[in-house]
């Protein structure tokens, strides 16, 4: 009789392939640079216009950090959804062969 075979391990390369992770990191990096830089620059312009040196710069920098938490979360959720579909495709390709083997061999190690 054929011993039970373990299901193949799913590595990080299957769960988070480079075609998902690379664009995700690029989006996060660009969003951080442009949102933080843009809001800090806007705060500096407002401080110059209203003669309130650090007030608007600090407020908009804090607002940018709160906004970035939400944006990075959304980017991560989108990447997770994409990685789930990639993982399901991988499971469909690789697991039917092992599932058939485990269904036909009903003998476990304790029964031998």
d(CA 16, CA 74): 16
> Has residue 34 been placed in a domain?
yes
Assess if residue 106 is contained within a domain.
no
pLDDT tens for each residue of 33-45: 999 999 999 999 9
Domain that holds residue 38: 16-93
Q: Identify the pLDDT of residue 40.
A: 96
- Kindly state whether residue 53 falls inside one of the protein's structural domains: yes
6 in a structural domain: no
pLDDT digits (tens, 9 = 90+) for 2-60: 556 666 666 666 667 778 888 889 999 999 999 999 999 999 999 999 999 899 999 99
Instruction: Let me know if 36 is exposed, middle or buried by CB neighbors in 10 A (0-12, 13-18, 19+).
Output: middle
Is residue 111 predicted with pLDDT exceeding 60? no
Q: Looking at the predicted structure, is the pLDDT value of residue 90 above 90? A: no
Identify whether 38 is part of a domain. Answer: yes
Number of domains in the chain: 1
d(CA 14, CA 90): 7
- Map 73-95 to HEC letters: HHHHHHHHHHHHHHHHHHHHHHH
- Confirm whether 64 is domain-assigned: yes
The answer as to whether 99 is a domain residue is no
| pLDDT over 60 at 104, yes or no | no
Are residues 79 and 24 in contact, defined by beta-carbon separation less than 8 angstroms?
yes
Q: Is residue 110 part of a domain?
A: no
């Amino acid at each position: 009789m054929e011993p039970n075979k373990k299901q193949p391990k799913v590595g990080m390369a299957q769960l988070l392939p480079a075609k998902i992770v690379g664009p995700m990191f690029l989006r996060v990096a660009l969003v951080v640079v442009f949102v933080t830089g843009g809001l800090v620059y806007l705060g500096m312009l407002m401080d110059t216009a209203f003669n309130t040196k650090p007030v608007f710069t600090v407020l908009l920098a804090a607002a940018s950090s709160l906004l970035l938490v939400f944006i990075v979360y959304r980017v991560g959720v989108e990447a997770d959804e994409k990685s789930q579909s990639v993982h399901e495709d991988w499971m469909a390709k690789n697991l039917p062969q092992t599932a058939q083997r485990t269904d036909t061999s009903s003998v476990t190690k304790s029964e031998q």
